[in-house]
Amino acid sequence: MLRLNKGRYIAREGRSLADVQAAQALRQRCFRDDAPDADHFDDICTHILIEERTSGDLVCCFRMLPIRNGSEINLSYSAQYYELSGLSGFDGPMIEMGRFCIDPAWTDPDILRVAWGAMTRYVDENGVEMLFGCSSFQGTEAAEYYDSFALLRDRHLAPKRFLPRVKAPGVFRFAERLRRKPDAKRAMKTMPPLLRTYLVMGGWVSDHAVVDPDMNTLHVFTGLEIRAIPPARARLLRMGAT
């Protein structure tokens, strides 16, 4: 069972119903405010909790859904929003990472590093070959993120063989609609931290964002082939996983 002690934080696998409920409560504060954040995927996912060592406060959580290979891609949460037949032929183990959130009261950048350390250990221990999920921008106004979307269009679109197609009723087709040249500094400032980390590791995204009023987010499908991670970056990740 996964457990990682790093500095003032402990990352561990949820062991009980109380752990899952604590994660759901943090997700509610981050995503919904006025409604519980729970669904049937909670019953089949592995939940990772990151706690401050001294206080025991839950500062971050996420969940992971193991998928045997691309033939099971339609079992994923993301498949509700994206047409993912391009990934159906992927023949290695996959993990969908979702509901990632950090308590807004905690701004320590080490929390994200510990989270990636825990993900790296899980990926290595389970022979995972692709990590994927939905990366969310807060709110549903695409105009606030035009530079970020333009940068994604120019540098980080999925390979054509994997490119997700439109399925959700409400989408922003940024690769098709945006004509602006991105301001790289502004783009990275408004890029979600989790997505920034995916991108520096060689991750890629869909050519459109789903408008999700239920979660009050815009999200892009995000994929990362583990073998595509630059060697220097992979070494840093594994240092963080020990």
How far apart, in Å, are the Cα atoms of 221 and each of 51, 69, 80, 153?
A: 28, 17, 11, 13
Residue 35: pLDDT band (50, 70, 90) is confident
Model-level pTM? 0.94
CATH H-level, domain 3-240: superfamily: Gcn5-related N-acetyltransferase (GNAT) (3.40.630.30)
Q: What is the pLDDT of residue 36?
A: 83
Model pLDDT for residues 42-67, shown as the tens digit of each residue? 999 999 999 999 999 999 999 999 99
pLDDT over 90 at 192, yes or no: yes
Domain ranges of the chain: 3-240
Spacing of C-alpha 43 from chain mean position: 19
